[in-house]
Structure formats: structure tokens, C-alpha cells
Homo-oligomer: A and B are copies of this chain.
Amino acid sequence: MATRERPRRVTIADVARHAGVSTTAVSKVLRSAYGVSPAMRERVKAAIEELGYRPHAAARAMRGRTFTIGVLLPDLRNPFFPDILDGLSEQLAGTDYQVIMVQGGPDVTAETRAIDALVDRQVDGILMIAPRVRRVRLEDVAAQMPTVVLGLHEKSALYDVVHDDDELGAELVVRHLIGLGHRRIAHIGYTPGSRERAVGVLDAIRAETYARVMREHGLQSQIAVARAAYTEEAGYRGARELLERSPRPTAIFAGADLAALGALRALHEAGLSVPADVSLAGYDNTRLAALSSISLTSVDQDGAVMGRTAGRLLLERIEGRTSSVRFSVTPSLVPRRSTGPPAPEA
């Protein structure tokens, strides 16, 4: 530790002494608990103000609440997540709760570490966005603290789930492409790893739905999936892989806008134009998709509503609810200029 003299923090004892009351009284005022006279409340509040006192979260964590909500974010680069965080913050505004975030990273090991970090820091509630760890691990966490999982469809007795109707969303995209006349429609998404969960995650559902709708239209022989995470880089590699096939797809459905941007880069590099040579669709309807020079067909899911709901469910659980809840938002297709009819076969 640095040896420089660090000013001692103002503690509850300092406030008590300054106000001429007991520490209990101060603690009660802080938590707006019963059993304090208005006069005492005023004196304590004045002392807190004068001394610039703030509760020490770590000390609080030893006994009661930390007034902290922990969020697991899989990837800082995905522009859809800020929408969720905005919703969460909105729901938490006006409460004493603070949000802290950890980044999950690329593999399950990193994600596990990130989740542990939140648990070890004794947050009052935890929101996991599209976690990849196994279900047992989630239930293990949920048994210890109020938990909401976003992006998972499987219901659990221990935690709440908030998700988009990914089946509907994926179906809208694939039907849209088929409706435009495409048959060789490929998909980029869903990478299962060895220690990861394989079912019920949003990307798995989008990929399965893609395959199902293709089969329903007699296009099972055209099914082509490039397994890739929802990142720009993976989308790029996925598209390159798909473009090597012969004949190449006339349309690509990327499971996320971020992956679609990577695919777009690959398409440009290959000298292909969108949608004349290849149609491209994403998912999430991020602000980037709406940019006129990109104009990406995408699926809109209301991230702010999901974030708000997750926040509300967490607060409810913190207040004592133990039954579990499932909340789903309905997505809608936003067609833009990146999709169009396929070029007539040569």
C-alpha cells in the first residue's frame, strides 16, 4: 500500500459524536428506520451534512445491504447493451441503488470470474445479460442473492428471466428474406463451447428458428450456418466463411447488428454490393443500423423496457419476493435498404 498519509474516512461514530447522539440513532436515520424523533433526525442530518459523511459500503456489506446492483455485461462493444442499462438506470433513479458493471469476456472462465466478483462484493441484486455459464452455476448464484437473467428463455424457480421473443424475431427476418425471393439464405451466429450452455440462450434460439423456418419452406438443403459469436470480428470471419461456399448465399441473416457490421466489412472486401449481390439483415435495431449509409434491415427489441423490467424485478426480489417471474418483449421487423430481391440467376 502507498505509504502516504491517507485521510481517515468520516465514520458513523464521528457523526454520532458531532451530533451528540448514539451510533444507533445515526444508523437509523441513514436507513430511515423507525424510532427516531424528528428533532434527533434533524440534528443527525445536519451533522452528516457538515462532516460530509457517506456510508462505507464495505462495512454495510458485512451486515445488511450494499445498495448495489451488479450487472454482468458480456461485451462492452455491443451497442445494444447500453439500451438495457439506460432502462435499468431509469428504474433505479430515485432509489439509493448504484449500478456496478463487470465485463464477461470471451470465454466461460472469464465470465465465471466476473460473476464471482459481483457475488464476492456482496451486491444486493445481480443482473446477468446473456450469460453462458451452465444453469447450475446460475442457480447457485440465485440461491445466494436476488437474480435476474436477461436473454435466457428457460424458466427457473430461483431467478427471474427477461427476454425478447427471439423465435418470433428470427422468424420475421427469415420470412422477410424468403418473401423477397431468396432461397440461399445463410445465418451467422451461435457458437456453443464445451463448458457452455447449449439450449435456451438467445443466440441458440435465433439459430434454431432460422433452421426451422428454412425447413418449413422446403429449404433444408440450403441451410448454412457460420458459427460465430455476436462480435464484429466474428461476424467478419463468419461472412468470409460463407462467401467461400459455392454457390454463395444470396442473403445473410446475422444474429446481431454488431455481427452484421462485420459481415458488411467482409462483403465490401469481397467487392460485393448490398443488397444487389447479397442481402444482409441483423438483429437488435441498434442506432448504427439506422444510419443512412448502413441502412441495415434489423429486428427491433425494446432494450429499455427489458432493462426497466429487470430493475423492477430485482427491487421486488430484494423486498422479499421469492416466486419467479418471466417477462417477454415482442420484437418487430424494421426493413431497410440492406435487403432486397436476389439478382436473377445467371
The CA of A117 and the CA of B123, in the complex, are separated in Å by 12
Q: Judge whether B1 and A318 touch: CB under 8 Å.
A: yes
Query: How many chain A residues touch the partner (CB < 8 A)?
Result: 63
Residues of the B chain whose Cβ atoms lie less than 8 Å from the Cβ of A85: 76, 103
Query: A217 contacts the other chain (Cβ, under 8 Å)?
Result: no
Q: Could you tell me the dominant secondary structure of chain A's interface residues?
A: mixed
Q: Which of B77, B102, B322 contacts A100 (CB 8 A)?
A: B102
Q: Which of B2, B82, B287 contacts A321 (CB 8 A)?
A: B2
Query: A39 contacts the other chain (Cβ, under 8 Å)?
Result: no
Query: A68 contacts the other chain (Cβ, under 8 Å)?
Result: yes
Contacts A6-B144, A61-B58 given: A100-B101 contact, CB under 8 Å?
yes
Contacts A100-B102, A287-B232, A293-B293 given: A322-B2 contact, CB under 8 Å?
yes
Q: 15 interchain pairs (CB within 8 A)?
A: A2-B146, A7-B143, A9-B144, A55-B120, A56-B122, A57-B58, A57-B122, A58-B120, A59-B61, A76-B82, A99-B102, A100-B101, A268-B292, A268-B293, A288-B288
Known interface pairs A57-B122, A85-B103, A269-B292; 11 further A-B residue pairs with C-beta atoms within 8 A, sorted by A's residue number: A2-B318, A6-B144, A54-B116, A58-B58, A58-B61, A58-B66, A58-B122, A100-B101, A265-B290, A268-B292, A293-B293
Nearest 10 Cβ contacts at the A-B interface: A58-B61, A268-B292, A76-B82, A98-B117, A57-B120, A101-B101, A58-B122, A57-B121, A58-B58, A100-B100
